[in-house]
Amino acid sequence: MNAVERDGPAAADAGEVGVMAGPAGASPVLEVEKVGKRFPLEQPPLRRLRDWWKGRPAPVLQALREVSFSVGARETLGILGESGSGKSTLARVLMGLYQPDGGRATLLGEDLFTADRARRAWCRRRMQMVFQDPFGSLDPRMNVRQLLAEPLSIHLPFPRGEWEERMVRGLEEVGLEGDSLDRYPSEFSGGQRQRISICRALILDPVLLIADEAVSALDVSVQAQILELLVRLKEGRGLSLLFISHDVAVVRQMADRVLVLFKGTIVESLPARCLLEDVVHPYTRRLLGAALHLREGRPLPPVASGTPAPAAGTQFPSTQAKEPNPPTGESGLVSPEPPGESDDLPPALNAEGGDSSGRPRKGGCGYSPWCDVQSDRCAEPPPEMEVHPGHRVRCWRDRP
Ligand code: SF4
């Protein structure tokens, strides 16, 4: 069976070999344009009735707004943000687990949202995801053989006679014994389960792997092993990687480029090597400062204009402890305009200035309640600006 028969016409159109052979970032594997996602908010019946009577629109959580980016061949794109910033929603939208409200996304030129069923199935096969929880993401009633056979039986990419050999080879590739096939997830440690999850994702030969907080639930020593494994697999297989994490150090270590997500909006995108020295957006600076503070007890760096960023070459510690969260809705997703006074504003952020009501300026920058360098212009939506080639920021700060 050749690649075209196996993968459908898209493989021929996209030039499977050409994309994989290209230099990092040369040919986008994944392109995302203005993708948005909103979730309706649950309301008590009386309030719902009152809003309906007064003609008010139903409240929603805007989890993603007009998110655009691309991932090149063999590139690792880091998505950095706190809990509730929309990182996992983005991954789920791309995987087809949530329906987007708008926008477009293509994998090797194939539309993820509007393609017909056969082409969507092809896209799903070539884009696989590793979830955060190695305990919850594997069915405890299935042994490893069944877990690995499940995607093969859904997508049928290879003849059945090859399955066993592929499973054994896949397990060995992720550092597990080939004779693990008849064991159950409960017989493995957390790190080993995550290896099984990675093996399950790779068994379909994807071109893009989405790792959604893939090491967050693991011990630090196991984290390092899994990160090393991901790098080895990515380089060995020529994969592209969408690496989602709240951990600044891990993202900086893994990624070529980084997008910083705040309340569903990309506020800064920059090369990962600049993540310590050259960040501009006050939110990114606060993330960096909090990560340093958590590990070393250092004070948060001020974000006032002209304040130097942490020194180049600073050893940046991994932070397992999560950042204080911006206001989140009940579902853990952030609302563009927090619906009430009960928002869980972190004291450290409130104390640093901004609007004491904790509400963003209507129509203006969503970060304004926590920003201590805001100006009158922040009442308007901040435009995107290129700071340096490859470094863009959405902020009025230092704007002439
Ligand atoms: S646009 Fe204004 S409020 Fe928003 S982060 Fe920039 S300076 Fe702060």
Q: What is the pLDDT of residues 229-246, one digit of tens each?
A: 999 999 999 999 999 999
The Å distance, Cα 121 to ligand 1 centre, comes to 42
| Protein residue with least CA distance to atom 1, ligand 1 | 395
* Confidence bin at 295 (pLDDT 50/70/90): low
The CATH number covering residue 75 comes to 3.40.50.300
Q: Is residue 88 one of the residues assigned to a domain?
A: yes
Q: What average pLDDT score do residues 14-29 get?
A: 46
Domain that holds residue 145: 3-259
Please give the Cα distance from 202 to 28 (Å, whole number): 20
Domain membership flag for residue 239: yes
Q: Strands (DSSP E) along 173-294, which ranges?
A: 208-212, 240-245, 257-262, 265-271
Say yes or no to pLDDT of 313 above 50.
Answer: no
Distance 289 CA to ligand 1 centre (A): 17
Report how many domains make up the chain.
1
Tell me, what's the pLDDT at 113?
Answer: 93
Rounded to whole angstroms, the Cα distance separating 336 from 343 reads 12
Q: How confident is the model at residue 343 (pLDDT cuts 50, 70, 90)?
A: very low
Instruction: Please report whether residue 361 resides in a domain.
Output: no
**Nearest-angstrom CA–CA distance, 27 and 395:** 29
pLDDT of residue 187: 93
Q: Is residue 39 part of a domain?
A: yes
Three-state helix/strand/coil letters over 183-202: CCHHHCCHHHHHHHHHHHHH
Residue 170 lies in a domain: yes
Specify the pTM. Answer: 0.78
pLDDT at 299 over 60: no
Distance 348 CA to ligand 1 centre (A): 18
Q: What is the average per-residue pLDDT within 329-345?
A: 31
Burial 94-127 (b: 16+ CB within 10 A, else e): bbbebebbebebbbbebbbbebeeebbbbbbbbb
CA of 28 to the centre of ligand 1 (A): 31
Q: 393: Cβ below 6 Å to ligand 1?
A: no
Q: Which residue has the higher pLDDT, 340 or 205?
A: 205
pLDDT, tens only, 166-204: 999 999 999 998 888 999 999 999 999 999 999 999 999
| pLDDT tier at 360, thresholds 50, 70, 90 | low
Q: Which residue has the higher pLDDT, 10 or 332?
A: 10
User: Is pLDDT of 257 > 90?
Assistant: yes
What average pLDDT does the segment 75-84 reach? 94
Is residue 397 in contact with ligand 1, taking CB distance under 6 Å? yes
Q: State if residue 396 touches ligand 1 by the CB under 6 angstroms criterion.
A: yes
Give the pLDDT of residue 240: 96
Ligand 1 pocket, residue 265 CB under 6 Å? no
DSSP SS3 for 267 = strand
Q: What percent of the chain has pLDDT over 90?
A: 49
At residue 336, the pLDDT reads 32
The amino acid at residue 188 is: F
Cα torsion angle, 63, 66, 67, 72, sign: positive
Contact 181, 144 (CB under 8 A): yes
Q: What is the pLDDT of residue 58?
A: 83
What is the model's pLDDT at position 60? 87
CB of 280 closer than 6 angstroms to any ligand 1 atom: no
Amino acid letter, 86: G
Task: Reply yes or no on whether the pLDDT at 306 is more than 80.
Answer: no
How many angstroms is it from 351 CA to the middle of ligand 1? 17
Distance CA 152, CA 158 (A): 7
Nearest CA to ligand 1 atom 6: 395
Label the pairing between strands 76-80 and 257-262: parallel
71 is a domain residue: yes
245 in any annotated domain: yes
How many whole angstroms separate alpha carbon 315 and alpha carbon 41? 42
Per-residue confidence (pLDDT) for residue 25, from 0 to 100: 43
Q: pLDDT-derived band of residue 345, with 50, 70 and 90 as boundaries?
A: very low
Per residue in 205-233, pLDDT (tens digit) is 999 999 999 998 888 889 999 999 999 99
pLDDT of residue 202: 94
375 Cα: distance to centroid of ligand 1 (angstroms): 7
- Compute the mean pLDDT over every residue in the chain, rounded to the nearest whole number: 79
The 3-state DSSP class for residue 266 equals strand
Provide the pLDDT for residue 218: 87
Q: Indicate whether 278 belongs to any domain.
A: no
Rounded to whole angstroms, the Cα distance separating 186 from 358 reads 45
Average pLDDT of span 124-141: 88
Question: Alpha-carbon torsion 203, 205, 209, 215, what sign?
Answer: positive
